[in-house]
Amino acid sequence: MSEPYDTRVTRRDTVTRLAAAGLAAGAVGAGALFFHDRRRVEASARLIPDWRVGASDQHPAVAAANGPDPAANVRRAMAPLGGMERFVRRGESVLIKPNVGWDRIPEQAANTDPDVVAELVRLCRAAGAARVVVTDISCNDPRRCFARSGISAAAAAAGAEVIESHRLAMVPAALTGLAAGIEVVEELLKADRVINVPVVKHHSLSRVTLGMKNWYGVLGTGRNRLHQSIDRSIAELGAAFRPTLTVVDATRVLLRNGPQGGSLNDVKAVNAVAAGTDPVLCDAWGAAQLGHVPESLPFIELAQQRGLGRADLKAVRQV
Amino acid sequence: MSWTRRLRVLYQGFFLALFLWLLARLAAGDPRDLPFTAYFHANPLAAVGVTGAAGTLPGALIWAVALILVTIVFGRVFCGWICPLGTLQHLSSRLLSPRSRRESLKVNRYRRWYALKTYILAALLAAALAGSLQTGLLDPLSLLARGLASGLWPMLPGGKPVPGGWLAAALLLSILIASRFIPRLFCRAFCPMGALLGIFARFALFRIRRSGEACNSCTLCTFACQGADEPLGEHRVSECHVCLNCTDSCADGVISYRFLAPAAEAPARPDLSRRYLVGSTLGALAVAPLLQAAGGGRGSARAELIRPPGALAENEFLQRCIKCSLCQQACPTNALHPAIGRAGVEGFWTPVLIPRRGWCEFACTRCGEVCPTGAIAELTTARKTGYDGAPPVRIGTAFVDQGRCLPWAMSTPCIVCEEMCPTSPKAIWLDEAIEPGRDGRSVRLQRPRVDPELCVGCGICENRCPVGELAAIRVTSVGESRDPLNRMIAATPS
Report the residue of A152, A260, A265, A266 to disrupt the B interface, i.e. the one with the largest count of B CBs within 10 Å: A260
What is the rounded CA–CA span in Å between residue A156 and residue A135?
11
CA distances B376 to A94, B345, B390, Å, are 45, 20, 19
pLDDT in tens, B328-366: 999 999 999 999 989 988 999 999 999 999 999 999 999
Q: Tell me B289's DSSP state.
A: H
Statement: residue A180 has pLDDT above 60: no
* pLDDT per position as a tens digit, A73-127: 999 999 999 999 999 999 999 999 999 999 999 999 999 999 999 999 999 999 9
Predicted local distance difference test score (pLDDT) of residue B494: 45
Chain B nearest-CA residue for A166: B158
- Of the given ranges (A38-52, A78-92, A305-319), which has the lowest mean pLDDT? A38-52
User: With contact defined as beta carbons under 8 Å apart, do B387 and A200 qualify?
Assistant: no
Q: pLDDT of A182-230, one tens digit each? A: 789 999 999 999 999 999 999 989 999 999 999 999 998 778 888 888 9
Confidence tier at A4 by pLDDT (50, 70, 90) = low
**Distance between CA B379 and CA B359 in Å, rounded?**
17
Closest residue in A to B445 (Cα–Cα): A205
Contact between A144 and B416 using a beta-carbon 8 Å cutoff? no
Residue B372 φ/ψ region, left for φ over 0, alpha for ψ in the -120 to 50 degree band, beta for the rest: alpha
Task: Show the DSSP H helices in chain A as ranges.
Answer: 11-35, 70-78, 114-126, 142-148, 151-157, 186-190, 230-240, 279-289, 298-305
Give the whole-angstrom CA distance, residue B20 versus residue B172: 14
Distances (CA, A) of A308 to A193, A280, A303, A304, B356: 18, 7, 6, 6, 38
With contacts defined as CB-CB under 8 Å, which chain B residues touch A221? none
The Cα angle at residue B389 between residues B386 and B390, in degrees rounded to 5: 70
Question: Which residues of chain A approach chain B closer than 8 Å at the C-beta?
Answer: 103, 139-141, 143-144, 147-148, 203-205, 224-225, 227-230, 257, 259-263, 266
Q: Do B31 and A147 touch (CB under 8 A)?
A: yes
Largest CA distance in chain A: 108
The CB density around residue B270, as the number of other CB atoms within 10 Å, is: 10
* Distance from the B282 Cα atom to the nearest Cα atom in chain A, whole angstroms: 48
Q: Is the pLDDT of residue A266 over 80?
A: yes
Distance CA A79, CA A90 (A): 19
Residues of chain B predicted below pLDDT 70: 261-270, 491-494
- Crossing angle for the helix pair A114-126 and A70-78, nearest 10 degrees? 40
- A56-65, A133-142, B270-279: which range is least confident on average? B270-279
Report pLDDT for B263: 62
State residue A130's pLDDT score: 96
| Mean residue pLDDT across chain A | 91
Q: CA of A226: which chain B residue's CA is closest?
A: B414
User: A139–B420: do the CB atoms touch at under 8 Å?
Assistant: yes
Cβ within 8 Å, pair A141-B446? no
Q: Is the pTM here over 0.95, yes or no?
A: no
Of B332, B361, B424, the CB nearest to A262: B424
Closest CA to A191 of A305, A53, A94, A291: A94
pLDDT value for B214? 81
CB-count burial class (<10 Å; 0-12, 13-18, 19+) for B10:
exposed
Spell out the residues 6+ positions from residue A23 whose beta carbon is closer than 8 angstroms to its own: none
Q: Is the pLDDT of residue A55 over 90?
A: no
- What ipTM describes this predicted complex? 0.73
Report helix, strand or coil for B352. strand
